[in-house]
Amino acid sequence: MHKTNKDRSLVSIVILRYKKLEDTLIAIDSATDQTYSNCEIIVVDDASPDDSPQAIKEKYPNVKLIRLKKSMGRSAHNIGLKEAVGEILIPIDADMYFPKNFVRKVVEKFDRYPDVSFIAPNLIHPTEKAFQWVPVHERLEAVKGGYDCAGGLPFMRKRAFGRVGGFNPDIFLYVDEWEHLIRIWRAGYRVVYFPDLVMYHTYSNNPYRSIMMGYHTVVNHIQLYAMYLPIRIWPKFLFHHTGQFSNVVVTGKANRLGTIKGLLLGVYYFLKALPKRQVLDNKTLNIFTKYYFPKKGKVIVEKWGWK
């Protein structure tokens, strides 16, 4: 495709994958089929124990493929984001994909709002059934058509990534978005959610997902206590999480085993994270708690039907 003057900003699309070859191919196809032409595509393979990376390399020789020898979880995205040379960085997982005009719309948002450095999309299930990843967001617009939010895995300007850093390698999966948001807010940035930036998340089944979710949700929250939260608000978080984790254990949900394992190892992870402690300032803490403990009428939580 011929590059136009409107396609001057280089966009780096960084796709993180573990197995999921079919999903990955769909994600790459959607990235290569954009109406916006000035894109580089980087695929980070998080140590998949199969031959799927070779299949990607053969089908897409112009896509940069980075193969990791050891799985890094969410922070594997950092490898691709650091390699990226684009002014705008779009990190996605392999089970996400775009409509044809998506990247162009993202670039237009960044061009229109030079003070916005992080953008969250409207991530929905392609069949419009159950799964929707609409971030908790403000009721009033921060910019025209955009709302301050707590949006995980945001798109970002390269310079902002350089200042905030990537995803924490100590937070393998789950809760990683909260830790990243804390550093974004602490650095003085906002994340703006644009409902018209619609993309898709297939959320493929994984027999180990629930166990992993239970385990990592527990140990990573414990690490947040140690790294960021003032002691004075620990009781509020402990009350909240005690109720959540007890419900999982008692009701026999699929992630019960992972939750129990996380609780048993909680002290270890707490002590491991404690030397990295940087207690949040009041401004950042207030932003964090506003979204973490949303109040009806104050913010919008679409998954709970708060409009």
Same domain, 112 and 257: no
Query: How many other C-beta atoms can be found within 10 angstroms of the C-beta atom of residue 227?
Result: 21
Q: Which residues contact 48 (CB under 8 A, 6 or more apart)?
A: 17, 18, 19
Q: Which of 188, 176, 124 is nearest to 152 (CA)?
A: 176
pLDDT for residue 128: 58
Same domain, 197 and 213: no
Rounded to whole angstroms, how far apart are CA atoms 13 and 22? Answer: 18
Instruction: Give whole-number Cα distances, 209 to 3, 44, 83, 214, 300, in Å.
Output: 41, 20, 29, 9, 28
Encode burial over 247-261: b for 16+ CB neighbours within 10 A, e otherwise: ebbeeeeebbebbbe
> Which one of 16-20, 240-244, 289-293 scores highest in mean pLDDT?
289-293
Which amino acid is residue 259, in one-letter code?
T
Same domain, 92 and 241: no
Query: How many other C-beta atoms can be found within 10 angstroms of the C-beta atom of residue 286?
Result: 11
* Domain assignment of residue 111, yes or no: yes
**Is 165 a residue whose pLDDT tops 60?**
yes
Question: Which of 1-5, 251-255, 296-300 has the least mean pLDDT?
Answer: 1-5
Q: Which residue's entry shows tokens 């906002």?
A: 190
Find the domain containing 163 and state its range.
12-201
Same domain, 213 and 195: no
Give the three-state DSSP class for 29. Answer: helix
Same domain, 267 and 249: yes
pLDDT tens digits, 243-279: 888 888 787 666 788 888 999 999 999 999 999 999 9
**Is 2 a residue whose pLDDT tops 50?**
no
* Domain assignment of residue 3, yes or no: no
Same domain, 23 and 68: yes
Same domain, 16 and 64: yes
* Domain assignment of residue 7, yes or no: no
Same domain, 81 and 228: no
133-159 mean pLDDT: 94
Give the three-state DSSP class for 245. Answer: helix
**Is 183 a residue whose pLDDT tops 90?**
yes
Same domain, 238 and 165: no
pLDDT for residue 130: 45
Q: How confident is the model at residue 129 (pLDDT cuts 50, 70, 90)?
A: low
Q: Which of 151, 177, 201 is the last residue of a domain?
A: 201
Please give the tally of structural domains in the chain: 2
Q: Which of 7, 20, 13 is nearest to 77 (CA)?
A: 13
Same domain, 108 and 183: yes
Query: How many other C-beta atoms can be found within 10 angstroms of the C-beta atom of residue 21?
Result: 16
**Is 170 a residue whose pLDDT tops 70?**
yes
CATH number for the domain spanning 69: value is 3.90.550.10
Instruction: Give the rounded percent of residues in the chain with a pLDDT score beyond 90.
Output: 77
* Domain assignment of residue 39, yes or no: yes
pLDDT for residue 305: 74
* DSSP sequence for 125-170: -TTSSS-EEPPEEESS-SBTTBEEEE-SS-EEEHHHHHHH-S--TT
* DSSP sequence for 73-88: GGGGHHHHHHH---SE
Q: How confident is the model at residue 89 (pLDDT cuts 50, 70, 90)?
A: very high
Helix ranges restricted to H, the chain: 21-32, 52-59, 77-83, 102-112, 158-164, 176-186, 209-227, 234-251, 256-264, 266-273, 282-292
Q: Which of 201, 230, 264 is the last residue of a domain?
A: 201
